Amino acid sequence: MRLFKKKVKPFKFKPFSLKQKRLLNWWEDGSPYKDCDIVIADGAIRSGKTIACICSFLKWSQKNFNNESFIIAGKSIGSLKRNVLEPMKKILTAWGWKFTHNRSENYIIIGDNIYYLFGANNEASQDTLQGLTSAGALADEVALFPQNFVEQMLGRCSVKGSKVFVNCNPKSPYHWFKTEYIDKKEKKKIYYLHFTMDDNLSLAKDTKERYKRMFSGVFFKRYILGLWVMAEGLIYDMFNKDKHSRKTENRAYVQHYVSIDYGTQNATAFILWGKYKNKWYAVKEYYYSGREKEKQKTDNEYYKDLDDFIGNIKVRGIIIDPSASSFITLIRKEDKYRVINAKNDVLDGIRNVATCLNEEKILFNDCCINTFKEFFSYVWDEKALERGEDKPIKKNDHALDAVRYFVHTIVCRGQAKVIDI
């Protein structure tokens, strides 16, 4: 058994808000919500719901059970460890509670209870819960889970007195979690709490203002106002050509990269990026559509175009979707450029691009004509929205996919999802 040995710094608690206190104490004797089976805390980022949810879950489980098993779930094991387990260990250290974390087997022992860690990143994830009998669960960012995982998780909580603690940021109003749980809270004995950033007393005013500047459109409504709203119309409605375009001219660019969206019948797009005065510029673009030209190019032809496109510029890497396997194989065979597999999480990537546009971290030379065209025609899929899914229409997105790959892989690399405390 590999045990957690690193010294953990204690959590520095700030005063809890009224909303956080309600989440902390909803299960206590005397609470009007004591008989509820589930608590749901949703709303804005940085609103204090996650820390209050963790504290409430820990105190409830330790006060009411001995020698029982519990579920702690996140979108992935990595995000769970970052957003729940790390602050949880700091909280336990601050309280003086002893714990043992088994990293290889993904569980943590606190007192006489064992807490199993689960990732819920696809439909098959529910299988990892099979056979487990649990006294309760803590689900972080549950709106990112597959529905069958949540149903399996609830079914596993069969010990008498079990309860489920849930938090999330809003999605579409037609999202299954909204329609099946929040909208049916009375019927399903759910205590529902909606959080805003004002419910986190530790946030300074300038910090709140900074977060408000980071988002616009649907992302502002969801992440700042905490509303379950539709993602309608243009995806990058914050893009403004006057604001985000620059005259093409020689600048002392550093740290060049090329990002690629590779297509066979669909268009192939290259974008050369350069850093100048702490901002990333799309220096120039390459765009070729075999469908429009009625002639598809081979991998070798695209490689020659790429080599000509780069010229004598020294690039740090070629960022490309891992699915472009044949082209990646060719680039590696030629052994001239370093290949970097693009992070291809579509919604997280779109959110990061939107934030970089809001903060003007990315700019575009006025020669990037096809990129500009796509910014004004890249829209949400209305049919998917009616099913509660946020999906872009797979059309007019090739240059923007290349933009997304670069931003999500390079500009925002190492930036963990904001811990919602």
110 found inside a domain: yes
Last residue of a domain, one of 172, 193, 224: 224
Q: Which domain does 388 fall in, by range?
A: 241-411
For residue 274, the tally of other CB atoms under 10 A from its CB is 20
Q: Which two tokens stand for residue 193?
A: 């709490």
Longest dimension (CA), the chain: 74
Instruction: Give burial (CB, 10 Å; 0-12/13-18/19+) of 396.
Output: middle
Q: How many domains does the chain have?
A: 2
7 found inside a domain: no
Residue type, 201: L
- Do 380 and 231 touch, CB atoms closer than 8 A? yes
The residues, ordered by sequence, that sit 6+ positions from 354 with a Cβ below 8 Å of its Cβ are 215, 216, 217, 219, 235, 236, 238
- Do 135 and 70 touch, CB atoms closer than 8 A? yes
Residue type, 405: Y
Are 354 and 317 found together in one domain? yes
The residues, ordered by sequence, that sit 6+ positions from 250 with a Cβ below 8 Å of its Cβ are none
Measuring CA to CA, how many Å separate 366 from each of 8, 281, 283, 407?
50, 11, 9, 19
Are 336 and 268 found together in one domain? yes
217 found inside a domain: yes
Are 118 and 196 found together in one domain? yes
Summarize the confidence of residues 401-419 as an average pLDDT.
Answer: 79
Are 220 and 245 found together in one domain? no
- Distance, C-alpha 380 to centroid of its chain: 18
CATH number of the domain enclosing 204: 3.40.50.300
Residue type, 159: V
Q: What is the pLDDT of residues 271-303, one digit of tens each?
A: 999 999 999 999 999 999 987 777 889 999 999
129 found inside a domain: yes
Share of the chain above pLDDT 70, in %: 97
Are 220 and 274 found together in one domain? no
Q: What is the pLDDT of residues 211-255, one digit of tens each?
A: 999 888 899 999 999 999 998 889 999 999 999 999 999 999 999
Last residue of a domain, one of 172, 189, 224: 224
For residue 314, the tally of other CB atoms under 10 A from its CB is 7
Residue type, 196: T
Last residue of a domain, one of 224, 258, 288: 224
Q: What is the pLDDT of residues 125-176, one digit of tens each?
A: 999 999 999 999 999 999 999 999 999 999 999 999 999 999 999 999 999 9
Are 279 and 184 found together in one domain? no
Are 88 and 197 found together in one domain? yes
Are 91 and 189 found together in one domain? yes
Distance in angstroms (rounded) separating the CA atoms of residues 11 and 364: 42
